[in-house]
Every structure is written in structure tokens, then in C-alpha cells.
């Protein structure tokens, strides 16, 4: 008995929305027939319940258009404008169709709907390397042969708020979680090959201006700005091997996952430049983004340079450097619109 009651309850819950939707579709057809017959007084009341809830998006659009015409022909301009505002709130990217009535087109042309802000999220990968500012080490730095390079691809994910300023110009406010990985290598004394892979986990807060060219489905853009960052964690993997005859008598040394967070500056600044392309979809964009982050800050804590274990184990000290990296991201933006009377 209980099972039968449960089945009946579930069936009623599933059937009721479908019944309501079918009923609203019939009401819309009835309202359109009344309009064709010139009987317009009862149409607003007839459509009111289904406009609140019951129409499909396409039916709601038809009903709002019909209601606008009803108020226009009934000489109620303020009511017609109110419905037009609701219509544009629901359909901010609507474009006039060839079969739209002249009265609807005329009222529509009196309004302007523009995006004023968008929010979005993105993720991607990056390639990082460092730029030497001044070499340091327990050897003659005039004979310095160390070099920085790219290690493993990194990762970034972030969120953005984009504010339209004028035309295609936007102010972009972002927060990004970034993992960068880069390498350092040096051949010391002609026989000791030292390799270090360093990984940083960061929070960055870029502020940039971007300009979008054109308003088609595909639209390229350029970006320029700056980024303030905070270091969350840094660690290094060290390796030392030998070449020539020394490799016969000396064993390689390897130390992994050494925490060096306290040896790196907590705050830093980057310059940012980039380009990308947007693909317009209803109420937003997908986009591909390419950026260069150019380091403006020395990342090394100078006071700890000579108090580190690697100085004595691997015969290297932290040289002053800043970090640069190239990012590639894919993202999505959702747009918010504002409707104004022209």
C-alpha cells in the first residue's frame, strides 16, 4: 500500500509540470487568437500566471512580444515599456527579426542594452625561467657558467571580474593560483655538474587593461598591466654528478624536496602583457589567452644566501634573479547587461 502511494505521489510530481506547460502553451495560443480578433482587454490577465512560471523560454518571448503589442494598441505606453525592459532583461542580446511587427521594432529601438561587467574563470599551463641579476657562488664568479632554463610545465587557475569602461576597453581584476617550475645548471671546476629544479606556488593579483577589436563572433584582444604576488611555498630538488675521471671515484649526490620558502621574498611584482581571442556565445564568451609575466622583483633573500646547506653540499649559492613565465589559458566569461532608454 505504501509503495503504491509513493508511486502515485512521484507520478503526480512529474506529471504536474508537464500538464502546466501544456496548459500554458494552450493559453498562449488562445491569447494570440484573441489578439488577431482584436479582443485585447483580457490578454494581460490571461498571460499573467504563465509569465511568472509556466512558459518555455521561447513561449515567454512570444508572450512578452504579444503583451507589448497589446499595451501599445491599448494606448498604455508605460506598461509597454515595462514589459520591454523585462523582455530585454531576459534577452539582452536580442536582434530585430524580419517578421517582428513595426510597433515592437519602434519601441525596441528606443532602448539600448549593453554589457557593463562580466565574471569568469580560467585554467591553463605555463613555462617559466629566471633572469640572472647578479651571480653568487663559492667560486670565481668571473668564470660563471650557470644558466636558468625551463623545467616542467606549470599550472594556473583563476577567476576574473571584467568591467567595461568604454568601447572595447575593459578593466580586468583577477586572482590566480600559479605553480611555476624552472631549472638551474652549472658546470663547476670543469668536472662537477650541478642541477637544481625549483618550484614555486603563488597567489597573484593582476590588474590590467584589455582592448577588444571588433564585435563579431570571433574577436581578438590585447592586454597590458601589472601583477602583485604572494609566495605560498617554494622548494628545490638538487643533484650533483661528475664528468671525466672524477665520475669513477666520486658518487652522485641527490637531495629532493628541500623547503626553501624562507629563502625567497614573500612579495613580488610582475609586468603583464598578452593577447587572446574571444568566441562569443549567448550571454558570454569562451576565450584563449596568451600572456607574458615579466618579473620586476629580486626573489632571493640576500641575508640567507650563505647560510644554506647547498652551499656546502653542492657548492652553489642563490644568485639574484627574477622569474619570468609564459602562460596559456582557456576560460569562460558570463556577461551582465544594463538596459537604458535612448
Comparing C-alpha atoms, which of 114, 106, 67 is closest to residue 86? 67
39-43 long-range contacts, CB within 8 A, separation 24+: 40/70, 40/73, 40/74, 41/74, 43/67, 43/70
Of the candidates 180, 175, 309, 277, the one whose C-alpha atom is nearest the C-alpha of residue 229 is: 175
> Is 293 in a helix, a strand, or coil?
strand
Residue 44 has which C-alpha cell?
Answer: 494581460
Q: Is 128 exposed, middle or buried (0-12, 13-18, 19+ CB in 10 A)?
A: buried
Q: Return the closest-CA partner of residue 111 out of 85, 83, 76.
A: 85
Strand 320-341 with 218-242, pairing:
unpaired
- CA 199 vs. chain centroid, Å, equals 24
User: pLDDT tens string for the chain (342 positions)?
Assistant: 554 544 444 444 444 444 445 699 999 999 999 999 999 998 999 999 999 888 999 999 999 999 999 999 999 999 999 999 999 999 999 999 999 999 999 999 999 998 999 999 999 999 999 998 888 877 666 666 778 999 999 999 999 999 999 889 999 999 999 999 999 988 777 777 888 899 999 999 999 999 999 888 999 999 999 999 999 999 999 888 887 666 655 667 777 888 999 889 999 999 999 999 999 999 999 999 999 999 999 999 887 777 666 666 777 778 889 999 999 999 999 999 999 888
In this predicted structure, what is the pLDDT of residue 310? 66
Q: What is the pLDDT of residue 239?
A: 86
pTM, two decimals, is 0.80
Query: According to the model, what pLDDT value does residue 318 have?
Result: 83
**Which residues are within 8 A (CB) of 83 and not within 5 positions of it... i.e. 6 or more apart?**
64, 67, 68, 71
Amino acid at each position: 500500500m505504501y509503495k503504491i502511494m509513493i508511486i502515485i505521489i512521484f507520478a503526480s510530481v512529474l506529471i504536474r509540470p508537464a500538464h502546466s506547460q501544456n496548459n500554458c502553451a494552450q493559453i498562449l495560443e488562445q491569447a494570440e487568437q484573441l489578439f488577431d480578433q482584436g479582443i485585447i482587454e483580457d490578454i494581460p490577465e490571461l498571460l499573467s500566471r504563465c509569465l511568472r512560471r509556466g512558459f518555455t523560454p521561447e513561449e515567454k518571448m512570444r508572450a512578452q512580444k504579444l503583451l507589448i503589442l497589446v499595451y501599445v494598441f491599448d494606448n498604455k505606453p508605460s506598461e509597454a515599456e515595462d514589459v520591454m525592459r523585462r523582455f530585454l532583461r531576459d534577452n539582452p542580446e536580442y536582434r530585430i527579426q524580419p517578421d517582428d511587427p513595426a510597433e515592437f521594432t519602434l519601441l525596441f529601438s528606443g532602448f539600448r542594452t549593453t554589457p557593463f561587467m562580466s565574471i569568469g574563470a580560467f585554467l591553463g599551463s605555463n613555462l617559466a625561467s629566471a633572469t640572472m641579476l647578479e651571480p653568487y657562488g663559492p667560486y670565481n664568479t668571473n668564470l660563471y657558467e650557470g644558466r636558468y632554463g625551463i623545467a616542467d610545465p606549470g599550472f594556473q587557475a583563476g577567476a576574473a571580474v571584467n568591467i567595461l569602461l568604454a568601447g572595447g576597453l575593459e578593466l580586468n581584476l583577477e586572482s590566480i593560483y600559479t605553480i611555476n617550475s624552472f631549472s638551474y645548471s652549472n658546470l663547476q671546476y670543469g668536472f662537477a655538474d650541478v642541477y637544481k629544479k625549483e618550484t614555486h606556488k603563488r597567489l597573484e593579483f593582476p590588474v590590467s587593461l584589455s582592448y577588444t577589436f571588433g564585435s563579431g563572433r570571433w574577436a581578438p584582444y590585447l592586454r597590458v598591466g601589472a601583477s602583485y604576488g604572494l609566495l605560498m611555498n617554494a622548494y628545490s630538488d638538487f643533484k650533483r654528478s661528475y664528468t671525466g675521471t672524477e665520475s669513477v671515484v666520486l658518487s652522485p649526490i641527490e637531495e629532493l624536496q628541500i623547503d626553501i620558502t624562507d629563502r625567497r621574498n614573500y612579495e613580488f611584482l610582475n609586468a603583464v602583457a598578452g593577447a587572446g581571442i574571444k568566441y562569443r556565445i549567448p550571454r558570454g564568451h569562451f576565450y584563449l589567452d596568451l600572456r607574458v609575466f615579466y618579473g620586476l622583483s629580486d626573489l632571493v633573500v640576500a641575508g640567507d644566501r650563505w647560510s644554506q646547506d647547498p652551499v656546502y653540499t653542492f657548492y652553489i649559492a642563490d644568485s639574484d634573479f627574477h622569474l619570468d613565465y609564459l602562460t596559456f589559458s582557456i576560460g569562460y566569461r558570463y556577461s551582465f547587461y544594463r538596459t537604458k532608454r535612448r
